[in-house]
Structure 1
Amino acid sequence: MISSEDHARLSQAIREAEDLTTGEIVVVVSEQASSYRSFPVLWALLAALVVPWPLIAITTLGPARIFLIQLLVALFLSIFLSFPSRRHALVPRFIKRARARETARREFLGRGLTRTRERTGVLIYVALAEHHAEIMADTGIADRVGPEVWRGIVDELTDRIREGRLTDGLVAAVRRTGAILAEHAPPRFDDVDELPNKVFVL
């Protein structure tokens, strides 16, 4: 998803942004927020439940044969729908969004963004399969910056991703986030770099 050159470019952008603030920026890009492995099975079982009705109406097959056909349909559809592109197509958008937001919250906690000295950590999270991007800020920044500001950055980022310019979008998002942090959390004389300056790819 991200080449070694792009990793270096993003790390440099994070370092430059954090030089102007006490805030910490973490970038996480995941290929998908969830595997959704249960959805092919769910749809296959629902289809198998429908199968007997037309067979009962238009054939003289006995219960044992119909049950066998149900099993075969369920097995075939479970395998057929398990390929990633088909599997993702089965998942409702609101579930994809919920899974992506849940993963973003988990990454926010897991990457130490709630443990910075002044609670000024910011996560930029992208889930590519779900077409979802999100920015989460800890209380030291969230109390000072409204959600509409982050939404503007996310909108620009998702536009770049749709154009196939993931790294460009992330670099721009890091720079804009850094400018906001510089305004609301300017650097201190004793400031230290608390978190790694790199993009995490899942």
Structure 2
Amino acid sequence: MTLLSESELKQVSEAIDRIERDTDAELVTVLAAQADDYRYIPLLWASLLALILPGALLFFTGWLAAWQLLLVQWLTFVVLAVVFRIPSLTSRLIPRSVRHWRACNLARRQFIELNLHHTVGGTGMLIFVSEAERYVEILVDQGISSRIDDSVWQSIVDTFTEDVRNGQVLEGFLTCIETCGSLLKQHVPATHERNELPNHLVVLP
């Protein structure tokens, strides 16, 4: 199941086509549903609470025998491991730093896997979005970073991130692509016609 409709995917592809006519940059866009399934998170929290809660009960009441303590710990772990798998609860258990760390790692893997580091002149550029984490990042190769300071992309990322938070993923992509296109046209203008990488939006489930 794609995160955007076929017509919306086509709009993104057409936007990339337009800006690449005026720049040597090779732009690739990636949209991920989420950066990780976080299956370990419910188990981690269940394990932690299974150790703490029965121990606290023993400390305050003193009535648990050793075998009863183990039983309560196992029951606590099993119940919480199941309950914490409810998606709405799981998302609340994941620290923001962990979500962004996983999304950041995925963005860098995509940059390598899509061969953005092997373009002629080092002009690869990735616009990456992970919807579940509300995470947006722009990664560029040395051919672009040597001409445009990395800090320039931050305001574009901030605007796009707000669009993602508001559920306006398509609008965010189109605005981001056009804004980046203006900068690339100015600082990395087209010197010859080429198209090394696919222009369609890469969607990760």
Query: Normalized against structure 1, the TM-score is what?
Result: 0.94
Query: Per-residue CA shift, 1:3-49, capped at 9, x if unaligned?
Result: 11100100000101111111111110111111221111111111111
Partner of 2:39: 37
CA distance in 2, matches of 1:101, 1:43: 23
Q: Which amino acid aligns with 1:118?
A: G
Measured after TM superposition, the shift of residue 94 of structure 1 is 1.3
Contact kept? 1:52, 1:70, Cα under 8 Å:
yes
CA distance in 2, matches of 1:142, 1:44: 44
Within a 5 Å distance, the mapping from 1:80-99 to structure 2 comes to 80-99=83-102
Contact kept? 1:23, 1:122, Cα under 8 Å:
yes
Measured after TM superposition, the shift of residue 59 of structure 1 is 5.7
Measured after TM superposition, the shift of residue 154 of structure 1 is 0.8
1:141 to 2:135 alignment: no
Give the 4+ runs in structure 1 shifted more than 3 A: none
Measured after TM superposition, the shift of residue 173 of structure 1 is 0.6
Measured after TM superposition, the shift of residue 125 of structure 1 is 0.5
Aligned residues: 201
Q: Secondary structure at the match of 2:31?
A: strand
Gaps of 5+ in 2: none
Contact kept? 1:55, 1:66, Cα under 8 Å:
no
Measured after TM superposition, the shift of residue 120 of structure 1 is 0.6
Within a 5 Å distance, the mapping from 1:112-127 to structure 2 comes to 112-127=115-130
CA distance in 2, matches of 1:100, 1:54: 36
Partner of 1:155: 158
Match of 1:199 among 191, 198, 201: 201
CA distance in 2, matches of 1:55, 1:86: 24
CA distance in 2, matches of 1:45, 1:164: 34
1:100 to 2:107 alignment: no
CA distance in 2, matches of 1:95, 1:40: 14
- RMSD (Å) for aligned C-alpha atoms: 1.4
